Amino acid sequence: MTFRASVSILALISMLGAAGVSAQTPAKSDPRADIASKIPGTRADQLKQSPIPGMYELVQGTDFAYVSADGKYAIAGDLYDIGSSNNLTEERRRDARIKLVSDMPEAQMLIFGPKSPKYTITVFTDIDCSYCRRLHSQIAEYNRLGIRVRYMFFPRSGPDTESWAKAEEVWCAPDRNDALTHAKLGEKVKNPKTCATPIERHYSLGLKLGVQGTPAIVLGDGELLPGFVPPSALVNHLRTTKQASVDKVAQGR
């Protein structure tokens, strides 16, 4: 777990609560009721039984912690299965990323893809990020290798900044894909217009996923790759992870 994630979940456990969400009072028969009542802003349905007897898993976005059944202790960190060396928390974190990304309609993304893609990735991008520009300069090669790229905007400077305004101009352009390509080359969108955009929703989703820089690449299995990955290296990684998934299913795990 990153330092940022640890701080986030520990803040939740202390007094900040989950973005001000009010606690709910579940049925008395639910053993999570007492725990939730001790953690401000926590709902019982955010607590799941963990692989460790007597410990519950507390989930907030893609941040995870483990809370004792008496609600007295919490551990912020990743849980490993010693026998298999599997990072159980990362597996759950990937599931959470898949769910969060799937909640965003593709109609609210910019998509560059071949006719018959083999893989689909979701990329959080910033128009003014040099490595984002490098990635986009090779978009034809990603597509040639069968990789479908779905873009969402994550202006690192935040709202009400030049990078944010550029993202809005691209979204409101008649041909968004073409406008993005020109913007990545440092060109201005011609005759920019205003319209309703999903930029704020993109940015909020990126924060929930733990995006700290761009490009941030979310794979189909929920893995998050921070930074630029060349087309050939990315497709090799995708092939490897796909085969690993097949092997895992074959082994009944």
Domains of the chain, residue spans: 3-86, 101-250
For residue 42, the model assigns a pLDDT of 85
Q: How far is residue 238's CA from residue 148's CA, in Å, rounded to a whole number? A: 12
> What is residue 187's DSSP assignment?
P
**Residue 245: pLDDT over 60:** no
Tokens standing for residue 173:
């352009």
For residue 243, the model assigns a pLDDT of 54
Which of 8-17, 38-47, 84-93, 136-145 holds the top average pLDDT? 136-145
* Catalytic site residue from 132, 133, 148, 150: 132
Tokens standing for residue 125:
């991008």
Provide the mean pLDDT of the chain.
87
| Higher pLDDT among residues 123 and 73, named by residue | 123
Helices 199-209, 88-102: inter-axial angle, 10-degree rounding: 170
Q: How far is residue 92's CA from residue 100's CA, in Å, rounded to a whole number? A: 12
* Catalytic site residue from 93, 128, 129, 150: 129
Q: Are strands 80-81 and 86-87 parallel, antiparallel or unpaired?
A: antiparallel
User: How far apart, in Å, are the Cα atoms of 183 and each of 38, 54, 212, 214?
Assistant: 50, 53, 22, 16
- As a whole-number percent, the residues of the chain with pLDDT over 70 amount to 84
* Catalytic site residue from 32, 94, 97, 156: 156
Active-site residue, 201 included: no
Tokens standing for residue 150:
């779905």
Q: How far is residue 149's CA from residue 123's CA, in Å, rounded to a whole number? A: 7
Active-site residue, 129 included: yes
**pLDDT band at 78, cuts 50/70/90?**
very high
**pLDDT band at 4, cuts 50/70/90?**
very low
| pLDDT tens digits for range 153-188 | 999 999 999 999 999 999 999 999 999 999 999 999
> Which residue bears the tokens 């955010």?
46
191: amino acid identity, one letter:
N
Cβ atoms < 10 Å from Cβ of 140: 12
For residue 248, the model assigns a pLDDT of 52
Q: How far is residue 235's CA from residue 146's CA, in Å, rounded to a whole number? A: 8
For residue 19, the model assigns a pLDDT of 35
**pLDDT band at 132, cuts 50/70/90?**
very high
Cβ atoms of 238 and 224 within 8 Å: the answer is no
* Catalytic site residue from 92, 97, 126, 150: 126
**Residue 18: pLDDT over 50:** no
| pLDDT tens digits for range 192-203 | 999 999 999 999
Q: How far is residue 17's CA from residue 13's CA, in Å, rounded to a whole number? A: 7
Q: What angle is formed at CA 2 by the lines to CA 215 and CA 142, rounded to 5 degrees? A: 25
Q: Are strands 147-153 and 119-125 parallel, antiparallel or unpaired?
A: parallel
Tokens standing for residue 133:
């520009």
| Higher pLDDT among residues 25 and 161, named by residue | 161
* Architecture of the structural domain at 101-250: 3-Layer(aba) Sandwich (3.40)
Instruction: Tell me whether the CATH fold assigned to 3-86 matches the one assigned to 101-250.
Output: no
**Residue 151: pLDDT over 90:** yes
Domain 3-86 listed as CATH 1.10.10: no
| Higher pLDDT among residues 100 and 8, named by residue | 100
**pLDDT band at 10, cuts 50/70/90?**
low
Cβ neighbours of residue 61 closer than 8 Å, sequence gap 6 or more = 8, 96, 100, 208, 209, 210
